[in-house]
């Protein structure tokens, strides 16, 4: 499952902005990678006042950071599109400009990830993985699918 951690610094995100960002990030991940929406989770954190520095100096302007941990195995072309589309949705939904947006994507081998109690499948093998889940878990995940 990709885990996207959104960190806002020196400004607040409303609940509506968080919801819109979570939906947008999930949709982009689904469209660009082909992975089911139930694989994507988005977590929000805010830096405490005066806890953001660059070059050893306190940052005062608003900034938005996105760290995406995704399953390895996707092409550079797909990851380039993913990172560009994620940047664009952050700009659109936060109203910040591109100089205030940071996006990082980290590849993790699926064999080193356990979610829902089972090791994750290689990219592109989600259907096979899903077939081997318990009926109860299939129902749970199907409810999360958009």
pLDDT per residue as tens digits for the range 114-130:
888 888 888 888 888 88
Burial grade of 135 (CB within 10 A; 0-12, 13-18, 19 or more): exposed
- Helix or strand or coil: residue 146? coil
Closest to 24 (Cα-Cα) out of 42, 44, 36, 7? 42
**Domain with 126 in it:** 3-144
Closest to 5 (Cα-Cα) out of 62, 70, 56, 50? 70
CATH code of the domain covering residue 117: 3.30.429.10
The number of distinct structural domains making up the chain is: 1
| Least confident span in 4-13, 65-74, 129-138 | 129-138
The pLDDT score that the predictor gives to residue 125 is 84
pLDDT band at 146 (very low <50, low <70, confident <90, very high): low
| Least confident span in 4-13, 56-65, 114-123 | 114-123
- Give 13's contacts (C-beta < 8 A, 6+ positions apart): 6, 21, 44, 46, 94
What does the pLDDT look like over 73-94, one tens digit per residue?
Answer: 899 999 999 999 999 999 999 9
């Amino acid at each position: 499952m990709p885990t996207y951690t959104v960190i806002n610094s020196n400004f607040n995100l409303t609940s509506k902005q968080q919801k819109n960002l979570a939906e947008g990030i999930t949709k982009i991940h689904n469209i660009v990678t082909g992975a089911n929406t139930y694989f994507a989770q988005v977590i929000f954190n805010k830096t405490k006042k005066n806890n953001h520095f660059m070059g050893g100096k306190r940052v005062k302007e608003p900034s938005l950071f996105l760290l995406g941990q995704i399953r390895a195995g996707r092409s550079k072309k797909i990851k380039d599109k993913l990172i560009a589309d994620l940047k664009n949705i952050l700009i659109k939904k936060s109203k910040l400009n591109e100089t205030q947006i940071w996006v990082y994507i980290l590849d993790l081998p699926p064999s080193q990830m356990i979610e829902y109690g089972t090791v994750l499948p290689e990219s592109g093998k989600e259907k096979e993985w899903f077939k081997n889940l318990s009926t109860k878990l299939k129902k749970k995940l199907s409810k999360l699918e958009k």
